[in-house]
Amino acid sequence: MKIQYCLICGALVIVMQSCIYIPTPQHSLLSGRGMIENEDTQEIQIGKTTREDILLQFGEPDVTINRQTIFVYRWTRTHGYLIFGAGYSGDIAPVGKTTLLMFEFNPQNLLKRFEFIPEGIFNTTMEAAMQWVTNENP
């Protein structure tokens, strides 16, 4: 009987020392100056919208690339929670999803292209930004 009791207690200790990820719809800003929604870019037109228009609408970018011909806006929203425990204690931490909004301007300061670049749990945003910069297709 004592052996069975010890096995049950041991199994409970192992189960209690674990993590659980609970996904949620995206909400609350974790980092960045604000969230930019698709609706916020509805009036933007390639070849017509100027660099100044973007600055007036969204403010200073988080990063500029290629002598300020590319603007990068970045924010992270909560999209889940990580719950972990050990013995009698535990904690909960928000898990974020980072999104980039990238704008590129031509030499006349007119918008050449723009795109939202969503990222996952593992933060590779600057890799994605550099890949976007080197992709000259649009």
Number of domains in the chain: 1
Residue-level pLDDT at 9? 47
Question: How much is the pLDDT for 87?
Answer: 64
Whole-Å CA distances, 79 to 17, 21, 125, 128: 23, 10, 16, 20
Residue 1 is assigned to a structural domain of this protein: no
Alpha helical stretches, state H, 46-124: 51-58
61 phi/psi in degrees, rounded to 5 = -70, 160
- The pLDDT confidence band at residue 4, using thresholds 50, 70 and 90, is low
The pLDDT, as a whole number, for residue 138 is: 45
pLDDT (average), residues 97-118: 93
Instruction: Give the residue among 41, 123, 107, 115 at the shortest CA–CA distance from 72.
Output: 115
Question: Residue 47 falls within a domain, yes or no?
Answer: yes
Any bridge partners for residue 41, and if so which? none
Three-state DSSP class for residue 131: helix
- CA 101 – CA 35 distance, rounded (Å): 10
Residue 4, in any domain of the structure: no
Task: Give the structural domain span for 24.
Answer: 19-134
Residue 9 included in any domain: no
Q: In the chain, what is the straight-line distance between the N-terminal and C-terminal CA atoms, in Å? A: 72
If one compares 58 and 129, the residue with the highest pLDDT of the two is 58
Name the residue with tokens 């037109």: 45
Residue 17 φ then ψ, to 5°: -100, 70
- What is the rounded average pLDDT for all residues in the chain? 80
With a cut of 90, say whether residue 45 has pLDDT above it.
Answer: yes
Higher-confidence residue of 138 and 68: namely 68
Quick check: 41 pLDDT over 90?
yes
CA–chain centroid gap for 98, Å, is: 0
pLDDT at position 105, please? 97
In a domain, 66, yes or no: yes
Q: What angle do CA 38, 105, 35 make, to 5 degrees?
A: 25
On whether residue 14 sits in a domain, the answer given is: no
Q: Do 80 and 21 touch, CB atoms closer than 8 A?
A: yes
> Could you tell me if residue 8 is inside a domain?
no
| 52-56, 72-76, 127-131: segment of lowest average pLDDT | 127-131
Confirm whether 122 is domain-assigned.
Answer: yes
